[in-house]
Structure 1
Amino acid sequence: MKKFILVLNLGSTTTKVALFRDLNCHIVKTYSHDKELISQGINEQKAVRYDTIIQFLNESNVNPEEISIVAARGGLLQPVEGGTYLVNDDMLNDLTSGKYGEHASNLSGILAAEFAGNYNIEAVITDPVVVDELSVQAQYTGIEGIRRTSIFHALNQKAVARKYASSAGKNYEDLNLIVIHMGGGITVGAHHLGRVIDVNNGLNGDGPMSPTRAGSLPAAGLLKYIDRNNLSHQEFNKLISKKGGLLSHLNTEDVRDITADIDNGDAHSAEVLEAMAFQIGKEIGAKAAVLHGEIDQIIFTGGVSYSEYVMDLIKPYISFLAPVTVYPGELEMEALAYGAYTVEQDRSLLKTYKAEVSHD
């Protein structure tokens, strides 16, 4: 009897796997991988990562035949609207080729499709990081030929938005919310009646600095820095997406270590963390303007929101705008299970991914 939803969430260093009965988590485990494996390309990691999934099922005493559907974290794809998508050939080709970028999250959909094919079931993804519901105005920049694109923590942002709406006895689609995910990257989204009409690109140099990302940078200063340090494109991308923010200033991205240093009198650490809070508050203010000041709730989530020190730094900048709710951590596994469960109950909600047609 098929009774479980298998949830896959592959990150750069871990494989997180869960089993849900309907919307109730039966078991969840996180497996860490060694540096030798994660230093390889995603296609070279496939076999070991797939074996990890089978290991999880064996440890859970669950036969693969008991699984009804696989729910996977979405990877780097072409921009799509929010929702749950079938992992079809078009999606699999884009994930495997790395057409829109290589990231460990691509493996979630790839391995979900492999598992689903082996057991004649469906694999789906929900709210991938490339969800793009930006308003036309939000897409514009000051240079023709350069457009703002949407890359953010769509899965968790929409999950906590729905959780808040449910707790308030309302529908997500009836609310104006500002949602802030604070993890290794920080994204601030303006949610207008169920659509994220403006959000900073949390990966490629936009918005507030974060534990590992640079955020927005002065263009002239950036060009001088690149010339002075003779950076290649690859080195530059690594600088803004993996070696920026708190890590660049303080040689650590761990907010717990930083606050401990502050408690011991480290004034520089205090100044840097206050600067990050300032930038987050400023970004929230910008999203308030996008929503014309009509904000039902401001919602914080992600690992950094566990820090009361950081939250106390941010709140004075934004508390006059709307009430604040904090959901520390993330709800990604629950959100993936929810997406799969809803399309099992109502097939009309299942969306189809179509590859972009090349005009070469």
Structure 2
Amino acid sequence: MKNILIINSGSSSLKFQLIRMPSEEVMASGMVERIGLDNAKLHYKVGDNSITEELEVKDHAVALKAITDYLMNSEIGVIRNKDEIAAVGHRVVHGGNVFSKTIAINAEVKEKIRENFSLAPLHNPPNLKGIEVAEELFPSSRQVAVFDTAFHQTIPQKAAQYAIPTEFYEKRHIQLYGFHGTSHKYVSKKAIEELQKDNSKIISIHLGNGCSITAVKDGKSVDHSLGFGPVNGLIMGTRSGDIDQSVIFYLIDELGYTSQEVSDLLHKKSGMYGLTGYSDLRDIEEQAAKGNKQCQLAMDMNAYRIKKYIGAYAAVMNGVDALVFTAGIGENSSVIRSLVCRDMDFFGIKLDEEKNKIRDKKLRAIEAEGSKVKILVIPTNEELEIAQQSFELIS
């Protein structure tokens, strides 16, 4: 048995899970939020016991030290000393075109992560900070990097390259990279197990505040809706998804927006929030049920965009065996699932509305009898996927 500490460092947060492998037992979990701000909070959970404490947390080093103290606490801790942690698995959002698999961290790996700061300015810097802090706190533990982009390295060049001068692809590595790869990999593996079919064609639909959809053929990503950055594709909580590039030029040239203002508009003020004033789908569903036409339109637009990608990816793979809904919205919104699967008879996609309404935290099939395509709701578990890959690397 080996204990794997999973670290997910954000700009002002640090999430963690301590997982015992290969039994996959979650020994402890939680997060520190509002790092560097007033009233930072540490949430710590062991079994059915949950603790929340306000702390002064000036940086990620203090946050991880506080987590470590809880893990080794004589009353609520789960380990006696740091040496009981065999490896620390780090989620790193952008690996560029360098990293196609999970890798042990060394100086060269850290430098490559740093070189990709410009590709993921909100994510890679805190990811690297988490690595550096963990190296100091856990000197005897293996440090492992698991990249969100790695799963999408199998996307063929005909899908990954943009139709701009080739030098931008060859010299500047401007291409589709994709995101949410750890989630898409985890749920697609579960779907393949459910199908009991090696030569599978799966469309994985990750719907949360950030959204993406992936065509997975024979267990490999072959196309994906997010690209060079995490703003295109599906309509998201505050991000626009696909938009005509001419709109950007119009905002800058005719309306006087700066490029930064356009970036803020597309990343933080668009999507469901821009359409309705709400970024949380639960609020939008509630308002739509009360007759708010704009909220209903936003949900219709959201589902319509997903349906377009399903059609495209079914064409790319010459068929589809299963749709997979995952992440917060995908797992919990029966309304969105119903809108997406409506009028898809041509593809053999038929939803059982009663099964769709059932709430459960386990994998479940919700297709109607006679549906040619399996419709699966699979709770994602990125932390477990990171633990599995880290364990495989150090074993």
TM-score range relative to shorter protein: 0.7 to 0.9
| Aligned residue identity for 1:30 | M
Match of residue 4 from structure 2 = 5
CA–CA distance in structure 1, aligned partners of residues 141 and 175 of structure 2: 37
Displacement of 1:158 in angstroms is 0.3
Shift of 1:273: 1.1
Q: Residues 180 and 218 of structure 1: is their aligned pair in 2 closer, same or farther, counting only changes over 3 Å?
A: same
Partner-residue secondary structure (3-state), 1:261: helix
For structure 1, which segment, 332-341 or 216-225, has the greater mean C-alpha deviation from structure 2 after superposition? 216-225
Maintained 8 Å contact 2:114/2:128: no
| Worse overlay, 69-78 or 156-165 | 69-78
Q: Which of 121, 124, 128 does residue 102 from structure 1 map onto? A: 121
Aligned to 1:221: 247
After superposition, the C-alpha distances for 1:148-193 in whole angstroms (9 at most, x for unaligned) are 412211000001111222233455xx42211111112211111122
Alpha-carbon separation, structure 1, partners of 2:244 and 2:328? 28
TM-score of the aligned structures, taking structure 2 as reference length: 0.77
**1:209, 1:279 within 8 Å by CA — same for their partners in 2?**
yes
Q: CA RMSD in A?
A: 2.6
Asked if structure 1 preserves the Cα contact closer than 8 Å seen for 2:18 and 2:26, the reply is: yes
Match for residue 107 of structure 2 among 89, 94, 98:
89
Pairs within 5 Å for 1:57-206? 57-59=71-73, 60-62=77-79, 63-80=81-98, 82-96=100-114, 98-104=117-123, 106-116=125-135, 118-129=138-149, 131-145=152-166, 148-171=175-198, 174-201=199-226, 203-206=229-232
TM-aligned CA deviation for residue 248 of structure 1: 1.1
Cα distance, 1:332–1:106 mapped onto 2, change above 3 Å: farther
Number of positions where the alignment pairs a residue of Structure 1 with one of Structure 2: 335
Matched AA of 2:4: I
Q: CA deviation at 1:14?
A: 3.1
Note the C-alpha offset of 1:129: 3.3
Which sections of structure 1, spanning at least 5 residues, go unmatched?
39-43, 346-360
- Identity across aligned pairs (percent)? 23
CA distance in 2, matches of 1:53, 1:111: 13
Q: Which amino acid aligns with 2:155?
A: L
Unmatched segments (≥5 aa) in structure 2: 40-57, 169-173, 349-372
**What SS does the corresponding residue of 2:240 show, helix, strand or coil?**
coil
Structure possessing the higher radius of gyration over alpha carbons: 2
Contact 2:215 2:317 (C-alpha < 8 Å) held by counterparts: yes
Q: 2:35 aligned with 1:31, yes or no?
A: no
Corresponding letter in the other structure for 1:47: A
Q: 1:335 to 1:268 in 2, by over 3 A?
A: same
Distance 2:164 2:38 in 1: 41
With 217-226 and 102-111 compared, the bigger mean Cα shift is at 102-111
Q: CA deviation at 1:219?
A: 2.3
Output the CA distance in 2 between the equivalents of 1:249 and 1:284.
Answer: 23
Distance 1:139 1:184, change over 3 A: same
What one-letter code is carried by the residue in structure 2 that aligns with 1:184?
N
CA distance in 2, matches of 1:318, 1:211: 25
Report the Cα distance in structure 2 between the residues aligned to 1:156 and 1:61, rounded to whole angstroms: 27
**Highest relative contact order (Cα 8 Å, sep 6+), 1 or 2?**
1
